[in-house]
Amino acid sequence: MLKQCRAVLERELFYMWRDKSLRHILLIGPLLGLLLFAGVYSYQRIGNIPTGIVDLDNSSASRQVVEELKNSQNLQVAAYFDSFAQLKESIKRGEVIVGVVIPDNFGKNVALHRQTRVAVVIDGMNMAYATNASSAILTVTRTFGAQVGIQTLIAQGIQANQAQEAYQSIAFPEEAWFNPTLNYAYFTVLGFALNVWQQCLTLAACMTIIGENGLRSWLQIKTSGISSAVLFFCKSLVHIAVFMLIVFPLYYLAFVVFKLPLACGWLNLLSFTLIFIIALHSLGTMMSSISRNAVDASRYGMIIALPAFVISGYTWPLEAMPQWVQHAAWFLPQTWFFQGLNYLTFKNPGWGFMSHYYLALGLMAVLFYSVAALRLMVENFLPKGGLM
């Protein structure tokens, strides 16, 4: 029994290492993805958003607005235009993302305490740019509006300190928890890299069963008397161990080298990753058991792995998806993993909260492995001595 297990373990390691394409996918793919995403999000947040200004008033008040825009941390005044038509054409060409149009008589209306409007146009083609631009413009308008309000009270004879206290009697301080600087890299780099990793793992797991009958050694295995349970249990152990080893350098680079946040301990992170690997491998094994050939197995695996990250709620909230998508997403181990990963890395809510994530992934593993086993028994795919 032990000799058979050892023989299967050594054989599986040998075949995984000999398969150059699989070796490169597993070893290089996730690391390359992490380095790529770390480089893409190295600036951590979007700043210096190109902004164009049309000042039709050219008064001291309008120049004050322009100065506030220049002082904004995330905006960069890149061009001045004489008309709205010129600004519109520049936005169409992608030269500026934000356009600000200060109307005629702006300074006069401000001085007379009349309502006036400043037009703000934002290029919504890139949502990341648009969201950050909207936030930056809102900050500028709040600041300028407060200054005008205080000046109005002062003009009515109220002392400057009293005017400031009266206008700002209610404060709404904003405080972002768990990611105080709203750093894009903290949120995206590890998640995107682990998405590449889980896709590579799915491809490998989908070969667990169907990959055997394409090897010359398959006939030898069928006649050797090795139990099917021993064979695929040992194969699964090798796959799970290799998958776990692959994630170590990813986590080291992410949390030690790139200093991404890790609220939980390493043991919690690794144990959660391990249960996900088992669940993901079980899913790939099930796909392998129902496939007619290796190509179909890879296709089935990718049909699941590619959209799984999108509907996991990691980049777009599950609550903002249709109800049927929300329900379907929870049938995939990727949803439980990426949701739980966010909690562990940013919040560490404790075992009482995370236990149902572990339980769900464990139940999925039992279910998927059971389906694969039943499928094999029905088709009599394995040699006699079959499943336990």
Choose between 241 and 151: higher pLDDT: 241
Q: What CATH number is attached to the domain comprising 66?
A: 3.40.1710.10
Same-domain check for residues 361 and 218: yes
Residue 172 lies in a domain: no
304-323 exposure pattern, b = at least 16 Cβ within 10 A, e = fewer: bbeebbebbbbeeebeebee
Per-residue three-class SS string for 75-124? EEEEEEECCHHHHHHHHHCCCCCEEEEECCCHHHHHHCCCCCCCEEEECC
**What pLDDT score does 177 carry?**
84
Confidence of residue 135 (pLDDT cuts 50, 70, 90): confident
Same-domain check for residues 97 and 163: yes
Residue 275 lies in a domain: yes
Signed CA dihedral, 220, 222, 223, 226: sign only:
positive
Secondary structure (3-state) at 53: strand
Q: Read off the DSSP letter of residue 52.
A: E
**What pLDDT score does 381 carry?**
47
75-81 and 119-122 as β-strands: parallel, antiparallel, unpaired? unpaired
Q: Which residue is associated with the tokens 């009958």?
A: 213
118 touches 105 (CB < 8 A): no
Same-domain check for residues 36 and 83: no
Residue 217 lies in a domain: yes
Same-domain check for residues 80 and 35: no
Same-domain check for residues 346 and 372: yes
Same-domain check for residues 73 and 120: yes
Same-domain check for residues 161 and 204: no
Residue 229 lies in a domain: yes
Q: What is the pLDDT of residues 21-44, one digit of tens each?
A: 777 778 788 888 888 888 888 776
Mean pLDDT of 308-330: 92
Query: What's the domain count of the chain?
Result: 2
Residue 25 lies in a domain: yes
**What pLDDT score does 375 carry?**
84
Confidence of residue 101 (pLDDT cuts 50, 70, 90): very high
Residue where one domain finishes, among candidates 116, 138, 167: 167
Mean pLDDT of 166-190: 75
State how far the alpha carbon of 132 is from the alpha carbons of 144, 188, 317, in Å: 19, 16, 18
Mean pLDDT of 205-209: 83
Confidence of residue 388 (pLDDT cuts 50, 70, 90): very low
Per-residue three-class SS string for 185-216? HHHHHHHHHHHHHHHHHHHHHCCCCCCHHHCC
Secondary structure (3-state) at 175: coil
- Round the average pLDDT of the chain to a whole number and report it: 84
Of 205, 381, 388, 387, nearest to 288 by C-alpha is 205
Same-domain check for residues 206 and 86: no
Same-domain check for residues 188 and 279: yes
Same-domain check for residues 103 and 225: no
Of 178, 179, 202, nearest to 337 by C-alpha is 202
Same-domain check for residues 34 and 55: no
Q: What is the pLDDT of residues 228-264, one digit of tens each?
A: 667 778 888 888 999 999 999 999 999 999 999 999 9
Residue where one domain finishes, among candidates 167, 194, 226: 167
Same-domain check for residues 36 and 56: no
Residue 174 lies in a domain: no
**What pLDDT score does 387 carry?**
43
Phi, psi of 170 (to 5 degrees): -115, 120
Question: What is the domain range of residue 155?
Answer: 49-167
Residue where one domain finishes, among candidates 167, 194, 214: 167
Starting at the edge strand found earlier in the chain, the sheet holding 119-122 runs 75-81, 49-55, 98-102, 119-122
Residue 387 lies in a domain: no
Residue 175 lies in a domain: no
